[in-house]
Chain A
Amino acid sequence: MEETQFRIGDRVRVKEMYPDGHHRTTYFVKGKTGVVNRYFGKYENPENLAYGGDGLPLRELYWVEFDINDLWDHEAGKKQDKLYIEIYEHWLEPV
């Protein structure tokens, strides 16, 4: 079994970073807490690929699950409704 930084079921927070360059972490999940529910493997880092780089080192890519109502100040859905989003390891911190 591959050693990964996070495991399925881990509670994680998306780091609240605002780098100038290209990144795939959407603003509305920054600083939010969710749960890792799937691991996709290692992928080239788009923050480096976007500028002609080689995308290395590879980054672990996870699905993070959020209650959709935790993401907004308003009631965005029913209590059971969710948002799943792909987040690279370097954007996640354990809670």
Chain B
Amino acid sequence: MAHSHDHHHGGHVHHHGDHPHTYSQDPGAHNARMQSDDAYREGAVAQVEHDLDYYQVRVMALLGILREKGILTTDEMRRAVEEIYGQSPAIGSRIIARAWVDEGFKERLLADADAACGEVGVDTTGINRVVALENTDTTRYMVVCTLCSCYPRQILGQPPTWYKSFPYRSKAVTDPRGTLKDMGFDAPDDVELIVIDSNADCRYLIIPQRPAGTEDWTEAQLFQLVTRDSMIGVGDPLTPAQFEEAMQASEQVS
């Protein structure tokens, strides 16, 4: 098992957590063995970038078996992956911008979010139930999944790393105001802060408050102010001034 000779992974960091390095096929090392010692070292360094994580190898092996047995086709897998990467917080931003300009839509979103999402062409069939919650001057919601990483992926895309992290998942329910402060947001003392533990069948979409000074903004303009974090409830949408600043900064970069 493992490698046929005792070579050293110079500076080669495996982020494997708590499981051993058990796979025997190490393509980078195999190729490297064909080369001279010096070239081998270069190969080992290059491999840092190409190294397949343990779970990636497992997933690839599993996919290979599923394909061989005719359970899944390559095309089905490609479509599934495309679907996952096609999901982004922009879908949620579109829903929020609509809710801000259309009171009737907002009411329907709050009453039956799945139906309201369908109205604007967002497919939520992968979610048992979508629940929309509205932040107000007196009530603020923030969402956490203390058990794992439940998240409305069809609406917000893949969850950010911090959302899945143990510190967020534990501190959000033991010190929610401190958690918000860590994230750069101060919840007013007199607001009722409601932590939503997304632990079962519902997935949550927070409707943040429409920023002041946007009374004459169009839906398409408002869309640009809705941040992912504001739809998780751990921040506010951009203000017009913050948006202006962000636009100027991106112009300087490009």
Interface residues of A, Cβ cutoff 8 Å to B: 24-26, 28, 40-41, 43, 46, 61, 68, 71-72, 74, 76-78, 80-88
Cβ–Cβ contact A40 & B195, under 8 A: no
Q: For the complex, is B101 an interface residue (Cβ under 8 Å from A)?
A: no
Cβ–Cβ contact A85 & B189, under 8 A: no
Q: Which of A24, A61, A72, A88 sits near B147, CB closer than 8 Å?
A: A24
5 smallest beta-carbon distances between A and B, as pairs:
A86-B200, A85-B197, A80-B192, A81-B193, A43-B201
A84 to B133 alpha-carbon distance, docked (Å): 12
Total number of residue pairs linking A and B with CB closer than 8 Å: 69
Q: At the interface with chain A, which of B81-89, B153-161, B169-177, B210-218?
A: B169-177
A85 with B193, Cβ < 8 A, contacts A26-B146, A72-B174, A76-B176 known: no
Residue tally, chain B, CB below 8 Å to A: 21
A56 to B200 alpha-carbon distance, docked (Å): 16
Q: For the complex, is B52 an interface residue (Cβ under 8 Å from A)?
A: no
Interface of B (DSSP majority class): mixed
Cβ–Cβ contact A82 & B147, under 8 A: no
Q: For the complex, is B125 an interface residue (Cβ under 8 Å from A)?
A: no
Cβ–Cβ contact A82 & B194, under 8 A: yes
Cβ–Cβ contact B196 & A84, under 8 A: yes
A46 to B150 alpha-carbon distance, docked (Å): 14
Determine which residue in A25, A40, A86 has the highest number of CB atoms from chain B within 10 A of its CB, and name it: A86
> 9 A-B residue contacts at CB 8 Å?
A25-B199, A41-B129, A43-B200, A61-B200, A77-B177, A77-B193, A81-B176, A84-B196, A86-B201
